[in-house]
Amino acid sequence: MKKTVLFVDDEIHILKAIRRELFDADFEVLTASSAKSGLKIIEDNNINIVVSDVKMPEISGIEFLKEIKKNHPYINRVILSGYVDEETVFVAIQQGVATTYFVKPWKPDILRNKLDHILQMQEVFNNKKLLNTLNSIKRIPVLPKVYSNLLNALGKRKSNKDIAAIISEDISVSTKILQIVNSAYYGITNKITSIERGIALLGLYNIKDLVLTLTMVSELKWSDFQKKILEEIIFNSSLVNNTFKILYKTKYKQNVKEEFSSIGITHNIGKIVLLQYFSEDYKKILNHFNTYPEKDFYTCELELNYDNVPHTQIGAYLLNLWNLHSINVEAALFHHEPENSSINNRVVIRIFNLAVRIVETVNKHSDIESIKYKSLFGGGFSSDTIQELISNIKSKKKGR
User: How many domains are contained in the chain?
Assistant: 2
- In this structure, the answer to whether residues 225 and 353 fall within a common structural domain is yes
Task: Give residue 211's pLDDT.
Answer: 87
DSSP code of residue 10: S
Single residue among 70, 91, 126 that ends a domain in this structure: 126
pTM: 0.74
> Quick check: is 88 in a domain?
yes
CATH number of the domain that residue 375 is part of = 1.10.3210.10
3-state helix, strand, coil in the chain (%, to 5): 65, 5, 30
> Quick check: is 173 in a domain?
no
DSSP string over 35-79: HHHHHHHHHHS--SEEEE-SS-SSS-HHHHHHHHHHH-TTSEEEE
- Helix or strand or coil: residue 342? coil
- In this structure, the answer to whether residues 249 and 390 fall within a common structural domain is yes
> Quick check: is 290 in a domain?
yes
Sign of torsion, CA 186 190 195 198? negative
pLDDT tens for each residue of 133-158: 877 776 667 667 788 788 778 877 88
Residue type, 84: V
> Quick check: is 38 in a domain?
yes
Core vs surface per residue 183-194: b (16+ CB within 10 A) or e = eebeeeeeebee
Please give the radius of gyration of the chain, using alpha carbons only, rounded to the nearest integer: 22
> Quick check: is 388 in a domain?
yes
Cα 62 from Cα 83, distance rounded (Å): 12
> Quick check: is 104 in a domain?
yes
For the sheet with 76-81, list strands across it. 28-32, 4-8, 49-52, 76-81, 100-103
- In this structure, the answer to whether residues 268 and 377 fall within a common structural domain is yes
Task: Give residue 2's pLDDT.
Answer: 87
> Quick check: is 56 in a domain?
yes
Single residue among 99, 126, 153 that ends a domain in this structure: 126
Q: How many C-beta atoms surround the C-beta of residue 341 within 10 A?
A: 25
- In this structure, the answer to whether residues 105 and 224 fall within a common structural domain is no
* Of 138, 97, 99, residue with least CA distance to 117: 99
Q: Give the percent of the chain with pLDDT over 90.
A: 33
Which range has the top average pLDDT, 49-58, 103-112, 322-331, 382-391? 49-58
pLDDT tens for each residue of 324-375: 778 899 999 999 999 998 877 889 999 999 999 888 888 876 566 666 555 5
Would you say residue 378 has pLDDT above 50?
A: no
Single residue among 109, 126, 143 that ends a domain in this structure: 126
> Quick check: is 272 in a domain?
yes
CATH number of the domain that residue 33 is part of = 3.40.50.2300
- Residue 349, domain extent: 219-398
pLDDT tens for each residue of 194-210: 888 888 888 887 888 88
Cα 187 from Cα 207, distance rounded (Å): 17
- In this structure, the answer to whether residues 117 and 224 fall within a common structural domain is no
- Helix or strand or coil: residue 134? helix
